[in-house]
Amino acid sequence: MFGWLVWRDLILAWRRRADVLATFFFFVLVVSLFPLGIGPERELLRSIAPGVVWVAALLASMLALGRLFGNDYQDGSLEQILLTPQPLYLVVLAKILSHWVVSEVPLVIVAPLLGVQFGLSQNTLIVIALSLLLGTPVLSLIGAIGAALTLGLRAANVLVALLVLPLYIPVLIFGAGAVSATVEGLSPQPYLLLLGATLVVSLVFAPWATSAALRISVE
Amino acid sequence: MLEVISLGCIRGDRRLFKDLNFSAERGELVEVWGANGSGKTSLLRILCGLAQPAEGEVRWDDKNIRSLGEEYFGSVAYVAHQNGVKDELSAIENLRIAGGVAGNSLGVREAQEILARIGLQKESNLPSRFLSAGQRRRVALARLLITKAELWILDEVLTSLDAAAAALSSTFIGEHLRNGGMAIIATHQELNISATATRRLEITT
């Protein structure tokens, strides 16, 4: 059942790939605009790179949240999914997993390439990918709570931003911190460990909170 | 057995119904009648566990459905107003995925046979956005043919179906009842379903 749900969301994303590509190119463009705007000042670019990449990833993943439950809610298939005979925790986890694969994994892959524009060392590029790999699932997990709470509301997009962005702050600090540390020649390990810990905590609590929020929104 | 005990429902600040009592045995058909906005859909949503009642409880085999949780969902099939058919998927994909997600996986051939039975053999590979309202309804109803659920909860099941499809669905609902299933159907028109026992429930405020 878990597999079917993931498969379903992957096919649906493929059939509506314009939506997915839109957030992907949003990320690519936002990150690329900074070096163009600031000019070839190597030191400055290097010091802002971690923040720029991470803030762009935050915004891109927030933009993608609308389609996590929105389409299924509108055509009634969310109700059908909620009525399947399996724990809602797993249902939600499957949806978040496929959402992460579709919306966040491309960002993780392309981020090191974009980092080249900022003149980052190879080591730093690896840490960018690694920090995003650990951090973006947290963004999807926390974002799912906001998406579920604002389901069917009129100003859902604005509300999601207000609800979710403050909760993203720890991820931003740890993620950008890991990259900054590497830029300055320090070890990113403590930041990555903290990101990992955040991931474990949100993996346990976020699907549970999302399930509760979905039940309320659908009622 | 499904038992509804002094059920009450409030939407917004409006009371839709209160003190609703009925029960349904296996093999029994319950028709829910009532004017538009009387709370038929709200009642069905409470019965399938999507909504919480303001008062009272719903019991399935002597246990409150709230405490049964997902165990209860395995015994219920719900066809709502909205079909839950994905526009991007073909009829066959819709059916196979709906089955897989609900735990009744079926192969391509099986799915094709079921769609043929419901009159969609030619359209089975077309993306559902090209289907008419009635054809989408048929795809939603095809889910009933693959479910193992005993209790079917159907909201205005005959909406936008043509005479042939209406007759067909009445037939397989009748079959389901004869096999010991139960059906609760909200309706505005007489259903021609042969059932051993039919209960008519009028919702009045």
Quote the tokens at residue A162: 């207000």
Instruction: Determine the pLDDT at residue A177.
Output: 93
Tell me the chain B residues in contact with residue A8 when contact means C-beta distances shorter than 8 Å.
97, 100-101
- Beta carbons within 10 angstroms of residue A3's beta carbon: 11
Q: Is B62 helix (H, G, I), strand (E, B) or coil?
A: coil
Q: Does B103 contact A1 at a Cβ distance shorter than 8 Å?
A: yes
Q: Mean of the per-residue pLDDT values for chain B?
A: 87
Percentage of chain B surpassing pLDDT 70?
Answer: 100
Tell me the chain B residues in contact with residue A219 when contact means C-beta distances shorter than 8 Å.
45, 50-52
Question: Measured at the alpha carbon of residue A167, what is the angle toward residues A147 and A107, in degrees to the nearest 5?
Answer: 70
Contact status, residue A179 vs residue A54, Cβ threshold 8 Å? yes
- Extract the residue ranges of chain A whose pLDDT is less than 50: none
Which residue's entry shows tokens 């403590």? A190
Ranges A128-132, B3-7, B84-88, B194-198: which has the least confidence: B194-198
* Residue B54, CB-side half-sphere exposure with 13 Å CA sphere: 16
Task: Locate the DSSP E strands across chain B.
Answer: 2-11, 14-24, 28-33, 55-60, 63-64, 76-79, 151-155, 182-186, 197-202
Could you say which of A7, A84, A218 has the minimum Cβ distance to residue B50? A218
Interface ipTM: 0.87
Give the span between the Cα atoms of A132 and A54, in whole angstroms: 8
Contact status, residue A132 vs residue A175, Cβ threshold 8 Å? yes
Residues 6+ apart with CB under 8 A from A32: A114, A117
Instruction: Determine the pLDDT at residue A164.
Output: 93
Is the pLDDT reported for residue B24 higher than 80?
A: yes
Longest dimension (CA), chain B: 50
- Check CB contact of B65 with chain A, cutoff 8 Å: no
Give the span between the Cα atoms of A28 and A36, in whole angstroms: 13
Testing the interface with A: which of B9, B72, B95, B101 to mutate, by most A Cβ within 10 A?
A: B101
Specify the CATH class of B1-75+149-205 in words.
alpha beta
User: If you measure CA to CA, which chain A residue comes closest to B76?
Assistant: A83
Tell me the chain B residues in contact with residue A15 when contact means C-beta distances shorter than 8 Å.
88-89
| Structure confidence by residue, pLDDT tens digits, B51-82 | 888 888 999 988 888 888 888 888 899 998 88
Could you tell me whether strands B2-11 and B14-24 are parallel, antiparallel, or unpaired per DSSP bridges?
Answer: antiparallel
Q: Does B101 contact A85 at a Cβ distance shorter than 8 Å?
A: no
Testing the interface with B: which of A19, A73, A77 to mutate, by most B Cβ within 10 A?
A: A77
Instruction: Determine the pLDDT at residue A15.
Output: 92
B196: phi then psi, degrees, rounded to nearest 5: -70, -35
- Check CB contact of B41 with chain A, cutoff 8 Å: no
Tell me the chain A residues in contact with residue B73 when contact means C-beta distances shorter than 8 Å.
83-85
Instruction: Determine the pLDDT at residue A39.
Output: 84
Q: At what angle do helices B163-178 and B133-146 cross, to 10 degrees?
A: 10
Q: Tell which B residues from 143 to 182 touch A, by Cβ distance under 8 Å.
A: 143
| Structure confidence by residue, pLDDT tens digits, B95-145 | 999 888 888 888 888 888 888 888 888 888 888 889 888 889 999 998 888
Instruction: Determine the pLDDT at residue A43.
Output: 87
The side-by-side arrangement of strands in the sheet containing B14-24 is B14-24, B2-11, B55-60, B63-64
Give the span between the Cα atoms of A205 and A200, in whole angstroms: 9
Contacts across the A-B interface (CB distance below 8 Å): 79
Instruction: Determine the pLDDT at residue B205.
Output: 65
Give the span between the Cα atoms of A207 and A190, in whole angstroms: 26
Query: Dihedral of the CA atoms A88, A93, A95, A101 (nearest 10)?
Result: -170
